[in-house]
Copies of this chain bind each other. A is one copy, B any other.
Amino acid sequence: MAAPTNPRELAHPTRAEIRLEAVLHALSDPQRLRIVREVAEMEGEEIACSRVGLPVSKSTLTHHFRVLRESGVLQQVYRGTAKMNRLRREDLDALFPGLLDGVLRAAEAQAVRCAP
């Protein structure tokens, strides 16, 4: 993952650099899993980090988005002052067919099972 020279370009792994272990690690945190579910729900659209409704500090949120970007789960781009996010579904489905949907379905199943 080459560091971009333009500070407004964010570092992403290429498709070939994405590792299953890093993707699973990124998804193994409850808050990051919730971010991914929210982004997946709006699939096809870009979502601002600030639109994700997590009760955490801005720096924690930034950290979680960075882990998701650096593992190859999310693509992030600046639009003005906002960082916009979308799922890298095409890359993930090409590398690991069915994995993303399997995790999203599992997260949904758990949310239903554990709902109060």
Contacts and interface: CB of A to CB of B under 8 A. Distances in A.
Interface of A: 19-22, 24-25, 27-30, 33, 95-99, 101-103, 105-107, 109-110, 113
Contacts of A101: 98, 102
Contact of A106 (B20, B25, B29, B30): B20
A113 to B, nearest CB: 8
Nearest to A92: B106
A30 B103 CA distance: 18
B33 A28 contact: no
B110 A106 contact: no
B96 A105 contact: yes
A97 B108 CA distance: 11
